[in-house]
Structure 1
Amino acid sequence: MASRRILVTGASSGIGAATVRALAAPGVALAVHARNNRDGAERSAAAAREQGAEAEVLMADLARPEAPERLVQEAAAALGGLDVLVSNAGFADRTPVAGLTDAAFAHSQDTILGALFRLARAAGPILAEGEAPRLVAVSSFVAHNFRTDSTVFPASAAAKAGVEALVKALALEWAPLVTVNAVAPGYTEKDSGAHAALDGPAWEAVKARIPLRRLGKPADVAAAIAFLASPAAGYITGQCLHVDGGVVI
């Protein structure tokens, strides 16, 4: 049996795929989740196997209320248990409040905050039986960045702020057995061809507002997730680590 059993959601591209690569190693078994990009998930799984890990691909639409619990159960069955849950699935919506429909706002909440809630509720008892168990949720700088010279993402910001609040509540509820933390990426490069909330000129303008003067790379964020998911992070809980080049200070 693998010594580290890990479920990563939203792992077909970007930060999720980079997280799979950062965590993959001999003795690690990974459940690689995607909503509908099976090809991307299979590529992530193949990369993990090349690094000596075991990897299984699992598909689920986490906006569906029943899907998170089913995904957790399938992952635990495939891996023989669960030591780490990385909740990464989500998307960005920059629609102003005046233009947001009830359905669009609810979709952000269901996909981001609702999915974390349901995943955590299902995974909690399983993680508690694991070795050095961890939950790491991916938040976003948009929950902290409200400036007149920056794009605001109302629906996404509300959902990600909820993620960080839920992380703190879970950290208290699950202590001392399971640590629960969040990582908040800043402006991060997208995979070629992937949907982006900003266009080319807007990305260039953004760099001037980042103290480190560059966009983040998925690997930058994945390294922070991998640390918080590791046994070495056993005395950290209820925290949000910003990986954003200083855009939120």
Structure 2
Amino acid sequence: MSQHSGLDYSGKVVLVTGGTKGIGAGIARSFLAANARVIVCGRSQPEELPSVGEAQAAFIAADVRSQESLALLFDTVQAEYGRLDVLINNAGGSPAAEAATASPRFHEGIIRLNLIAPLNVAQQANRLMQNQVEGGCILFIGSISALRASPGTAAYGAAKAGVLALVQSLAVEWAPRVRVVAVSPGLVRTEQSHLHYGDEAGIAAVSAGIPAGRMAHPDDIGNACLYIASPLASYASGCNLLLHGGGERPAFLDAANAASN
């Protein structure tokens, strides 16, 4: 069960895009543990929805890359829940591909999913939130890939860098009623970690290079979202909360040590 440090989201409605697995599911569980009404969306309904105790997320089918699908999603949220307090703009990702050989269509698809789609989702959420007396919070899930080299996922890193610029601009345009912020994870262990890091030995080796001694868990990201979307962070807007366990040990340190031994 997620730990939520006493934050109470009773009566609040939270939408998590891509909230059926991985980081998104961890975020959904954190808000469920804090008593929020949580909606998750994805292209297809999973076998198991995020849940905490008796509380379970609701599911609405949606493809964030489709304007028609997004319009239906937000019309449904408005009709069935009457409000939207927090949007977690989480859907995204990228398979590994060398920039030299990946097709232009592949690059366009990655940027569409990770930059254009989140902008379109945020626009729909803002439309609802601006009409609420209490406004709302739009939270983009960024990535450490926006802030350092991202070999193998270059288009993804570029898209996430664009997200950080987007957050700053939207925070100015949509203030004061809607706060716009980013939470940027470093390396996170999910059910798909083996696709990037191999077996348990590979995951352990990568974890050893992180000062915290481990990769983040999805609940770590969820708990950060709980804070940044709450009244405790009401003055946070246009900013990026970086969660990387202290970063990654610089390769030059290991190289220097190896050379001197």
TM-score by length of 1: 0.87
Q: Deviations over 1:169-224 (max 9, x none)?
A: 11010111111101111111112x67733322543332233121211111111111
Q: Contact conserved, 1:8 with 1:20, CA < 8 A, in 2?
A: yes
Deviations 1:80-135 (A, max 9, x none): 11111111011133312102211111111121111111111111121123335101
TM-aligned CA distance change 1:198 to 1:99, over 3 Å? farther
Q: CA deviation at 1:145?
A: 2.0
Q: Which whole-Å CA distance do the structure 2 matches of 1:64 and 1:132 have between them?
A: 25
Structure 2 residue matching 1:104: 3-state secondary structure: helix
Q: Report if aligned partners of 1:68, 1:115 keep a CA contact under 8 Å in 2.
A: no
C-alpha distance in 1, partners of 2:33/2:244? Answer: 26
Number of the residue aligned with 1:140:
143
Of residues 51, 54, 78 in structure 2, which corresponds to 1:50? 54
Larger radius of gyration: 2
Distance 1:183 1:137, change over 3 A: same
Check whether the contact 2:194–2:203 (CA below 8 A) recurs between aligned residues.
Answer: no
Q: Unaligned stretches of 5+ in structure 1?
A: none
Q: 1-side partners of 2:65 and 2:232: how far apart?
A: 32
Q: Distance in 1 between matches of 2:52 and 2:82?
A: 18
Judging changes above 3 Å, is the alpha-carbon distance between structure 1 residues 177 and 187 closer, same or farther for their aligned structure 2 residues? same
Partner of 2:92: 90
How far does residue 38 in structure 1 lie from its aligned partner after superposition? Answer: 2.6
1:30–1:79: 8 Å Cα contact kept in structure 2?
Answer: no
Structure 2 residue ranges without an equivalent (≥5): 1-9, 250-261
Percent pairwise identity: 32
Q: Give the whole-Å Cα distance in 2 for the aligned partners of 1:62 and 1:187.
A: 24
Change (3 A) 1:187 1:77: same
Q: CA deviation at 1:168?
A: 0.8
Counterpart of 1:211 in structure 2: which amino acid? P
- Letter in structure 2 aligned against 1:133: G
The residue identity in structure 2 corresponding to 1:134 is C
CA contact (8 A) 2:14 2:38 kept: yes
Segment of structure 1 superposing worse, 62-71 or 90-99: 62-71
Q: TM-score, normalised by structure 2?
A: 0.83
* 1:99 aligned residue: 101
Q: Secondary structure at the match of 2:87?
A: strand
Question: Which residue number corresponds to residue 172 of structure 2?
Answer: 172
Alpha carbons of structure 1 residues 226 and 31: separation in structure 2 relative to 1, 3 Å: same
Check 1:159–1:109 CA distance in 2 against 1; reply closer, same or farther (3 A cut): same
Q: Secondary structure in 1 aligned to 2:195?
A: coil
How many pairs align?
238
Match of 1:126 in 2: 128
* 1:50-92 CA-partner distances (Å, limit 9, x unpaired): 24x7x42101121224322322222222211111111101113
